[in-house]
């Protein structure tokens, strides 16, 4: 009977059209059902309310405001674990970036890679004309063979002179001189061998391979170009993409809690989002902390590592970082839209069993973009108003439409740590 009277007041008030547009289909159907169930009683209510409005037209707006139910959207507060985290700005930073440069001079005779190609460490990239270096190797090997022959002959003479010296056939000084000559040839052999090894190394340098695993960038030199050792531009740049890291800075006041978690071997989970925070890009963990505080910004740099198997992160990309330090149990969690602010503090409208609302003063905890924890003044399961609060006051009658609460609030919302 009370519901039917409320809806009849909607229909008979000056704002009937606007009001009926906001009444849910459930209550319109219930009204028709009530009318069918007791038509005579329903018609009597209509005649009585119509007479009341016509006999006192100046009061109809006031009656409508004080008597009509207000349509609202509600949600049940839920309990859960709230992640305490820090938001920061970060830059995607490869763990390895290699500029492939020639280590000797010569003409490029082969290019063995394509732009954007994924290569593994040791894969062939390019070749410099090896012929001059092959000739240099053969020259070094020839010199080595020549000096080895001289050393062999010197050793034979040394043995002969030693025998004659023992028979007092020659002076001992001649033996000493021959011994020094042998040592000279031995040193020459060492130098010749180094020349051979250097020539072999240069020949290997003609065959350029990938120093790291990663993606090749744009080719900077074409086949047939003359390249030089130490030139400013390389042949290409190889960037490691998997895994990859994100470097970000946090306030120095938070470094203690971060270090405590790392020393306790508790992983610090990091989630990165795009520049608009609309899309989650990847999840990873903190791997290292810088060893000093930036005295200009008062921040400390951290590095987090990500598998990046889907190539969601790109080198030098700007990202929003959220690092979870720890989680705390919250007795109640509600959407931010439910929180109202007044002279006496924060409060929410709680829908009671008789479809009226009551003001509950609350104490809020860590907040997020969508949800906030309530530490006192509210219990899990309480039905709070999230839409339509602008027309409410303590004791207002409402028509509630329930909104589903998150099934996993820990993963659906990221809660920021409050910094004093």
Topology adopted by domain 130-205: Helix Hairpins (1.10.287)
Q: Which residues are 304's β-sheet partners? A: 246, 286
CATH code for the structural domain at 85-95+239-327: 2.40.30.170
pLDDT tens-place string over residues 19-68: 333 334 444 444 444 444 444 444 454 444 444 544 555 444 444 444 57
Considering only CA atoms, which of 9, 19, 18 is closest in space to residue 53?
Answer: 9
Q: Which residues are 271's β-sheet partners? A: 283, 322
- The CA–CA distances, whole Å, from 332 to 75, 81, 127, 368, 400 equal 12, 10, 67, 14, 20
Give the pLDDT of residue 81.
Answer: 85
Give 3: exposed, middle or buried? Use CB within 10 Å, 0-12, 13-18, 19+.
Answer: middle
Q: What is the mean pLDDT of the chain?
A: 83
pLDDT at 377 over 70: yes
| Distance in angstroms (rounded) separating the CA atoms of residues 360 and 376 | 10
Residue 254 tokens read as 């938070």
Give the pLDDT of residue 60.
Answer: 45
pLDDT at 132 over 80: yes
Task: Give yes or no for a contact between 269 and 262, defined as CB atoms under 8 angstroms apart.
Answer: no
pLDDT tens-place string over residues 105-118: 999 999 999 999 99
| Distance in angstroms (rounded) separating the CA atoms of residues 23 and 4 | 12
pLDDT at 297 over 90: yes
| Distance in angstroms (rounded) separating the CA atoms of residues 237 and 211 | 10
- Say if strands 226-227 and 124-128 run parallel, antiparallel, or are unpaired: unpaired
Backbone angles phi, psi at 372, to 5 degrees: -145, 145
The answer to whether the predicted template modeling score (pTM) of the entire model surpasses 0.75 is: no
Give the pLDDT of residue 172.
Answer: 87
Sheet holding 118-119, edge to edge: 97-100, 236-239, 214-216, 118-119
Considering only CA atoms, which of 363, 372, 376, 377 is closest in space to residue 409?
Answer: 372
- The CA–CA distances, whole Å, from 62 to 59, 65, 92, 389 equal 5, 5, 61, 19
Per-domain residue ranges of the chain: 2-68, 73-81+329-416, 85-95+239-327, 130-205
First to last CA, the chain: 54
| Distance in angstroms (rounded) separating the CA atoms of residues 371 and 410 | 10
| Distance in angstroms (rounded) separating the CA atoms of residues 97 and 145 | 43
What is the percentage of the chain residues whose pLDDT exceeds 70? Answer: 80
| CATH C-level class of 73-81+329-416 | mainly beta
Segment among 63-67, 157-161, 301-305 with least mean pLDDT = 63-67
Task: Give yes or no for a contact between 213 and 97, defined as CB atoms under 8 angstroms apart.
Answer: no
pLDDT tens-place string over residues 312-349: 999 999 999 999 988 888 899 999 999 999 998 999 99
């Amino acid at each position: 009977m009370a519901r039917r009277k409320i809806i009849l007041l909607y229909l008979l008030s000056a704002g009937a059209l606007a009001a009926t547009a906001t009444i849910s289909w459930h209550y319109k159907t219930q009204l028709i059902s009530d009318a069918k169930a007791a038509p005579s009683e329903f018609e009597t209510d209509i005649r009585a309310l119509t007479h009341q409005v016509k006999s006192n037209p100046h009061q109809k707006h006031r009656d409508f405001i004080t008597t009509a139910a207000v349509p609202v959207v509600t949600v049940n507060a839920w309990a859960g674990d709230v992640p305490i985290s820090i938001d920061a700005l970060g830059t995607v930073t490869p763990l390895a970036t290699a500029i492939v440069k020639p280590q000797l001079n010569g003409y490029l005779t082969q290019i063995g890679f394509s732009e954007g190609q994924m290569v593994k460490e040791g894969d062939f990239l390019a070749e410099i004309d090896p012929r001059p270096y092959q000739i240099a190797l053969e020259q070094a090997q020839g010199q080595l063979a020549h000096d080895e022959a001289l050393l062999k002959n010197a050793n034979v003479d040394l043995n002969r002179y030693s025998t004659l010296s023992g028979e007092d056939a020659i002076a001992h000084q001649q033996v000493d001189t021959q011994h020094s000559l042998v040592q000279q040839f031995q040193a020459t052999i060492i130098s010749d061998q180094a020349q051979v090894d250097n020539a072999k190394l240069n020949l290997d340098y003609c065959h350029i391979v990938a120093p790291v695993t990663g993606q090749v960038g744009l080719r900077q030199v074409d086949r047939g170009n003359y390249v030089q050792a130490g030139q400013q531009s390389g042949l290409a740049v190889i960037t490691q993409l998997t895994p990859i890291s994100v470097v970000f800075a946090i306030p120095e006041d938070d470094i203690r809690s971060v270090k405590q978690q790392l020393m306790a071997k508790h992983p610090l989970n990091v989630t990165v989002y795009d520049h608009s925070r609309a899309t989650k890009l990847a999840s990873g963990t903190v791997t290292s902390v810088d060893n000093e505080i930036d005295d200009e910004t008062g921040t400390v740099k951290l590095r987090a590592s990500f598998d990046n198997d889907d190539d969601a992160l790109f080198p030098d990309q700007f990202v929003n970082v959220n690092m979870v330090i720890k989680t705390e149990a919250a007795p109640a969690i509600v959407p931010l839209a439910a929180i109202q602010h007044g002279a006496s503090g924060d409060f929410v409208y709680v829908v009671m069993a008789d479809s009226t609302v009551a003001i509950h003063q609350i104490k809020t905890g860590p907040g997020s973009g969508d949800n906030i924890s309530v530490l006192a003044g509210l219990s899990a399961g309480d039905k709070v108003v999230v839409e339509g609060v602008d027309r409410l006051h303590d004791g207002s009658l409402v028509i509630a439409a329930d909104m589903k609460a998150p099934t996993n609030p820990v993963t659906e919302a990221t809660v920021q740590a409050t910094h004093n």
